[in-house]
Chain A
Amino acid sequence: MSTDTLAHSDERIKAEPFLTKLMKRPELGAIGGVVLVTIFFMITADSTMFTLSGVMNFMTPAAQLGILGIAAAMLMIGGEFDLSIGSMVAFAGMVFGVFVVNVGMPLVIAIPLTLALAAALGATNGMIVLRTGLPSFIVTLAGLFVLRGAALVGLKLFTGGSTQLRGIREAVEGDFLAPIFSGDAFGFLMRWLAEAGIVDSFKSGVPKVPGIPVEILWFIAFAAIATYILLRTPIGNWIFATGGDSLAAQNSGVPVRRVKISLFMLTATAAAIVAIITVIDAGSTDARRGFMKEFEAIIAAVIGGCLLTGGYGSAIGAFFGAIIFGMVTIGLTYTKFDQDWFQVFLGAMLLLAVIFNNVIRRRVTGER
């Protein structure tokens, strides 16, 4: 077959250099960004940043953001935005807290109920967007305020006036599901590695890093599953098609409505998972939880190569986008720079990513 292709090959097409091929991958920008940021901190930051405990330090916030970012990326590829995910974290956190503390539910009931409620709210978002034909930007902007407000009102209602709900850690203590959503995993592995002298340990022999924080494992699993779905399943093809041109997709038999509603459910559920993980971790929840996370998630997706117009992007990109985020937020504390440079950096990064993506898109579509 290859000789056949060669025989017919077009003389005007040069063999594509590896670099050009690489340039066409949506996640290239984010990987390049990770390399640049790593080099930057290698030079400027304290060397402890890149020890195992340092890495865990910046991977934890990266993971919390990344779970949202990957979901946001999938929705963006599908051609929509969800600005309500940050508020959804607060709202789902409040609901989960009330279930666990006030109602006294075990996690095996509280977690599925919280996730189901979030998914239902996500589906409602999707339904409104599809029914009204309004931009999802506006519909979910309304959701941003509604859910944030509802979280605040709910907290005050159930705590008798406080904006913080405490006692969650005590309530879930000893629950068999708790280790999946909180704490560190693979502790035995770390202890073993410490004994073998491969990882750093305290004088007592306890490893400095007691285990891998569970959110990092969730983050990696999310990225892997999302990538598999996008690239290797019919549903992935439907998501790209829906975002690329929903009318053309519809005419070709893609269930566009179902795809969009499922994606809205995904972003809301991802927000609820982040809420559950962070709330158990902190032992309390408050109304400011997830503040601004909707924008950070979208920025991570954009740094990861998602186009604002939909139809193009990758979950792996958002994965690295979130890591850049984590490295910069935490990394600045290892340097002599003022931490508040963070936002300046973020804005610059976003602008750069959008310009870069635009160039890539032109290359892919062959526009000149």
Chain B
Amino acid sequence: MSAPIIHMENIKKHYGNVIALNGVTFDLRAGECHCLLGDNGAGKSTFIKTMSGVHKPTEGSITFEGKPLSFGSPRDAMEAGIATVFQDLAMIPLMSVTRNFFMGREPTKGRSIFKRFDIETANEITMAEMRKMGINLRGPDQAVGTLSGGERQTVAIARAVYFGAKVLILDEPTSALGVRQTANVLSTINRVREQGIGVVFISHNVRHAMAVGDRFTVLNRGQTLGTATRGEINAAQLQDLMAGGQEMAALEGSLGGTI
């Protein structure tokens, strides 16, 4: 097995007297999809925000490509190659796919005052990148608002990949999607992984995680309950871990095993 791209050891994060993370250990290798599972309030968001440079950990160490690292801002993390696709996607519905794709990083041609947005190149790249992800746009000038939720998710992922992400963090990419769109996003994750990018897939849906995950780490009450490799664990066991075992068993009993 290759060395991990990113290794986070015993991360703790306190907000005043609230302990959001209490010792989380997590690593990610190139070309794998590592699922981070946990119920609401388990600390998933805090943890990925630490990884993407939004928060500084109170304690613990981050090693990125073999070197100890401390990100000052999300920008630092992005430049190092850690891209995060948050749930709001940072997409502007009224703007075209191309304009969204290159927002803030527009390719230019010409010099000094004649320096201009190279819209032809931008359009070509956008169409090509989207086709690689299995989405055929009507045209590069199609507004993002006309895309489905899954397609928007894919644009955001394609954008992160195009701009050189080595680690791609996806924050609940499937939570608001229908069945078919979920399948599309999961196959996008698969494509990204095949390109050698490490994917951190955050979810509280065990089935979605099982579909693409190579490894699974479960968070509960700010702590890791352990990491399992694909094949070592089944969906029911993961579900139990996420919910913290006991109470869930009792609940499930009363609901007749429907969850």
Contacts and interface: CB of A to CB of B under 8 A. Distances in A.
A241 B92 contact: yes
A249 B103 contact: yes
A244 to B, nearest CB: 4
A366 B138 contact: no
B94 A361 contact: yes
B237 interface: no
A204 interface: no
A365 B94 contact: yes
Chain B residues touching A, majority SS? loop
Contacts of B90: 245, 247-248, 251-252
Interface string A49-61: 0000000000000
Nearest to B88: A248
17 contacts: A8-B136, A10-B138, A228-B116, A232-B116, A232-B119, A237-B103, A237-B106, A240-B99, A244-B93, A251-B74, A251-B90, A253-B103, A253-B105, A311-B92, A311-B95, A365-B143, A367-B145
A8 B128 CA distance: 12
A252 B103 contact: yes
Interface in B142-166: 143, 145-147
Contacts of B95: 240-241, 244, 311
A226 interface: no
A312 B94 contact: yes
Nearest to B107: A234
Contacts of A238: 104
A3 interface: no
B74 A248 contact: no
B145 A249 contact: no
Contact of B92 (A16, A231, A249): A249
Given A233-B115, A252-B104, A312-B94, A365 B88 contact: no
Interface residues of A, number: 34
Given A232-B119, A365-B143, A16 B138 contact: yes
B64 interface: no
Given A248-B88, A251-B74, A241 B93 contact: no
Interface of A: 4-5, 8-10, 13, 16, 228, 231-234, 236-238, 240-241, 244-245, 247-249, 251-254, 307, 311-312, 361, 364-367
Contacts, number: 88
Contact of B136 (A9, A237, A245): A9
Contacts of A237: 99, 102-103, 106, 117
Interface in B89-136: 89-95, 99, 102-106, 108, 115-117, 119, 127, 131, 136
A9 B131 CA distance: 10
Contacts of B147: 366
Given A241-B104, A252-B90, A365-B93, A8 B131 contact: yes
A311 B95 CA distance: 8
B75 interface: yes
A254 B145 contact: no
Contacts of B103: 237, 241, 248-249, 252-254
A26 B173 CA distance: 32
Given A241-B103, A251-B90, 16 more contacts: A5-B131, A5-B136, A9-B136, A231-B119, A232-B117, A234-B106, A237-B103, A240-B94, A241-B104, A245-B90, A245-B92, A249-B103, A251-B74, A253-B78, A364-B94, A364-B143
